[in-house]
Structures are given as C-alpha cells and as structure tokens.
C-alpha cells in the first residue's frame, strides 16, 4: 500500500479526461464522435515553424540549453511583449517553459504556500484550481456567469471576495471556457483592487492572439501600477497550433524570476532545445498563418452562434479564444453525459469550470462537423 501525499489527494482527476475517455471508448467501438471537448486548434503547425525545428535538429541543437531558455528566444519574446505594450520586460525577466501550463505551475509553486488565498474568476480554466491545491492554497471564487462572463459587472463581487489575505488573482482574457475579453475599465478596476490589497496578478494571455472583429485583449501589465505585480503568461500552443510541441513562457519582475528559476531548473531543466529554436521562427516569421486560423475560428463561431439561435438557444458571443458556453440543463453533467452517450457529441460540463448549467464547446472543428453536432443534439432533444 502507498501513502499518498496530501497535495495529490486534494486534487480530483480532470473532468475533461472523463469525457475524452468516453469519446475514445465509443470511437474504439466504431462510433463517429464529434469531439467539441478539445482545447486545441484543429490546424497543423505552420510549415516555417516545422522547417525551423528540422533545421535545428540537423544543426545538432539537441542538448540542454541554459535553464531559462536560449537568449535568441527570450529576446524574441521580450520584443513580442514590447509590441503588446509590455515594454519593461527584457530577456532577463523571462523563463521559457515546456508549455504555458508548466509556466503557471511554476508560478503557483513559487508564490503560494499552505493556506495562501488565490482568487479565481469563475468560470475558470480547470488547472488553476488544481495548481492552487497542489501548492496548498485556498480559493476564493467570483462568479461572472451571471453577468454574461463580463468582468466589469462582477467587480463589486471581486472587491468583496478579496482581502489583504489574498496572495494571488488569476485573470485570463480572452478566457477559457467562455471566450470573453475583458474591457479596459474592468481591468482598471482589477488594478485598483490589486493595488489596494497588495495582490499579485497572473495575466494568462495564452489566447491573446485569437480575438474577433476589432477586439483586442489588453495586457494587464500595461496598466500603470501593474508592472511590479503582474506575471504575464503566454505560449505557442494556441496561436501557432503548437500544442504538442510544449512551448510557453512567463515574464515577471526579477525577484520572481530568481525564485521561480529554482523550481524550473530543479524540475524541467529547460524547454526542448530545437523546439525553442522553432519558437523564434514562430514569433519572427509567422503572421499570415495566424490571421488565417483566426479568420477560420471567427467564421465557425458565427456559424455556431446562429445555428444555436435557430434552435432558440442564446449564446453569449465570445470575443476571443475558440470556446463558447452553451446554457444547458441545471444538471450539466447529465446533459454532457447524454450528449456523448446518445448524440455522440463530446462537450465539457460547465461545473468542471465552477459554473454548472452550461456546457463548454470548442469550435476548433470544421463547419460541417459543427453543423453535424447541432443536428445530433437537436435529434436527441438536447437543444
């Protein structure tokens, strides 16, 4: 018998995993499943990035790199962040990680002790809760679903939820699972609250490049007063269709980098050498491909919103990322179970993100498959 550490016993297995296991079991039986549960682009990585990785392999870039990342990539990231208005980060403020998830994990490990409070804006991406619990922290939650996922009307609730005891607040705009992009005035209110209570804020900008129409997602760190209390997290998975490459990063004040660098070097050592080199190409030479992917997501999003409207289901139109929250029965878990078992459409229950009554759909899928999904849900009386 094993005696497990409290830190793992505090965490439940991922709800998305349960759905994908069910989907895989059905597919193994020859069932055609429309999988709208996945959090990844359905596109292949742009060719110039693949070429750069192949060139790097051929050139023998196969060993360890310096722990925080190769200088060329950290400089390219600093330039990208400067383009986003985050002009105060230089390459010394950046740690390159195997994915944005590892970046977040390292930040939680660096800042959160037993009993430290973390504030989350629900619905929130599932791993923030798990990372808090693994680090030993407690969670205070603010609901935004009742305000159509907009942050601004939830600001009074945020002000009530946090206190001088709050160590960390996580902001994710554009957000998973709702696709909302927070307004500048909402972010200014976040700034005021963070300053008042001396709270560090993680700005998870992994979907920043994926916004629709004229919406842009402001980087929280650009607001005056936020430079010294913001940790900016981003990565290559979503914008560059590079989920399986595992490449991400965070940028933070020097003291944070110094401490987090210990977690980083004693866990992963460094991100994969030739993948880092391909990351430089992604940042410096790939623009058009991103625009094309975003355009495709945008069309699918419009298609799906109007297909749901045709069946009397009103969706809060997402301004970014590639997810939407569909209002379903109170028992969202049961709805998602029926959707996968009867309609063979895989979705994720909103309760996994702290928001029951919804299902999260990813529209990183072709229009034909999205139409097929809606037809099947209608046929099974799920819409």
Three-state DSSP at 29 gives: coil
The dihedrals phi and psi of 96, each to the nearest 5 degrees, come to: -90, 130
Nearer Cβ to ligand PLP (225/244): 244
Nearer Cβ to ligand PLP (98/137): 98
Q: Tokens 């297995």 label which residue?
A: 13
Nearer Cβ to ligand PLP (125/308): 125
Complete DSSP assignment for 171-203: EESS-TTT-----HHHHHHHHHHHHHHT-EEEE
Nearer Cβ to ligand PLP (137/279): 279
Work out how close the CB of 102 gets to ligand PLP at its nearest, in angstroms, rounded to a whole number: 7
Work out how close the CB of 122 gets to ligand PLP at its nearest, in angstroms, rounded to a whole number: 13
Tally of CB atoms within 10 A around 2: 4
Work out how close the CB of 373 gets to ligand PLP at its nearest, in angstroms, rounded to a whole number: 20
Nearer Cβ to ligand PLP (100/137): 100
Q: Please choose, from the candidates 137, 89, 71, 129, the residue with its C-alpha nearest in 3D space to the C-alpha of residue 110.
A: 137
Q: Please choose, from the candidates 326, 374, 370, the residue with its C-alpha nearest in 3D space to the C-alpha of residue 350.
A: 326
Work out how close the CB of 379 gets to ligand PLP at its nearest, in angstroms, rounded to a whole number: 30
Work out how close the CB of 14 gets to ligand PLP at its nearest, in angstroms, rounded to a whole number: 11
Nearer Cβ to ligand PLP (137/338): 137
Token pair recorded at residue 230: 């913001």
User: Where would I find the H helices in the chain?
Assistant: 6-9, 15-28, 47-58, 71-83, 100-111, 126-135, 155-161, 184-197, 254-267, 273-285, 288-310, 332-341, 367-379
Which residues of the shown chain bind ligand PLP in the complex (CB under 6 A)? 39, 99-101, 125, 172, 176, 204, 206, 235, 237, 243, 248
Work out how close the CB of 202 gets to ligand PLP at its nearest, in angstroms, rounded to a whole number: 10
Q: What residues have CB less than 8 Å from 144, skipping those under 6 apart?
A: 121, 122, 123, 150, 151, 154, 178, 180
Q: What residues have CB less than 8 Å from 26, skipping those under 6 apart?
A: 33, 340, 344
Q: What angle do CA 118, 102, 345 make, to 5 degrees?
A: 85
Work out how close the CB of 98 gets to ligand PLP at its nearest, in angstroms, rounded to a whole number: 8
Nearer Cβ to ligand PLP (84/338): 84
Work out how close the CB of 338 gets to ligand PLP at its nearest, in angstroms, rounded to a whole number: 25
Residues β-bridged to residue 169? 119, 201
Nearer Cβ to ligand PLP (125/182): 125
Work out how close the CB of 125 gets to ligand PLP at its nearest, in angstroms, rounded to a whole number: 4
Q: What residues have CB less than 8 Å from 114, skipping those under 6 apart?
A: 136, 137
Nearer Cβ to ligand PLP (125/212): 125
Structural Rg of the chain based on CA atoms: 21
Question: What is the C-alpha separation between 229 and 65, in angstroms, rounded?
Answer: 29
């Amino acid at each position: 018998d094993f005696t497990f550490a409290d830190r793992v016993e505090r965490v439940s297995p991922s709800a998305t995993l349960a759905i994908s296991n069910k989907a895989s079991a059905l597919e193994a039986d020859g069932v055609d499943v429309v999988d709208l549960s996945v959090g990844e682009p359905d596109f292949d990585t742009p060719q110039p990035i693949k070429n750069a990785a192949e060139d790097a392999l051929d050139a023998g870039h196969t060993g360890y790199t310096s722990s925080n990342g190769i200088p060329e990539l950290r400089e390219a990231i600093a330039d990208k962040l400067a383009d986003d208005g985050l002009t105060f980060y230089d390459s010394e403020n950046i740690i390159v990680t195997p994915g944005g998830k590892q970046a977040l994990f390292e930040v939680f490990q660096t800042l959160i002790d037993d009993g430290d409070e973390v504030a989350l804006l629900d619905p929130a991406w599932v791993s923030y809760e798990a990372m808090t619990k693994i680090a030993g922290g407690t969670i205070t939650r603010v609901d935004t679903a009742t305000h159509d996922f907009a942050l601004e009307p939830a600001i009074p609730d945020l002000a009530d939820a946090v206190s001088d005891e709050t160590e960390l607040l996580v902001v994710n705009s554009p957000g998973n699972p709702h696709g909302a992009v927070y307004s500048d005035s909402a972010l200014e209110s976040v700034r005021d609250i963070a300053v008042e209570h001396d709270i560090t804020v993680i700005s998870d900008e992994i979907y920043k490049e994926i916004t629709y129409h004229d919406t842009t997602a402001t980087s929280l760190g650009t607001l005056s007063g936020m430079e010294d209390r913001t940790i900016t997290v981003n990565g290559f998975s979503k914008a560059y269709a590079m989920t399986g490459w595992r490449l991400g990063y965070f940028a933070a004040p020097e003291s944070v980098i110094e401490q987090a660098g210990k977690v980083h070097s004693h866990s992963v050592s460094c991100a994969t050498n030739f993948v880092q080199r391909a990351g430089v190409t992604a940042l410096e030479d790939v623009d058009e491909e991103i625009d094309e992917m975003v355009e495709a997501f945008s069309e699918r999003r419009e298609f799906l919103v109007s297909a749901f409207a045709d069946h009397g289901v009103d969706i809060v139109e997402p301004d970014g990322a590639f997810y939407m929250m569909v209002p379903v029965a109170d028992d969202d878990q049961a709805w998602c179970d029926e959707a996968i078992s009867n309609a063979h459409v895989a979705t994720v229950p909103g309760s996994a993100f702290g928001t029951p009554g919804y299902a999260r759909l990813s529209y990183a899928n072709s229009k034909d498959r999205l139409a097929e999904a809606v037809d099947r849900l209608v046929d099974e009386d799920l819409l």
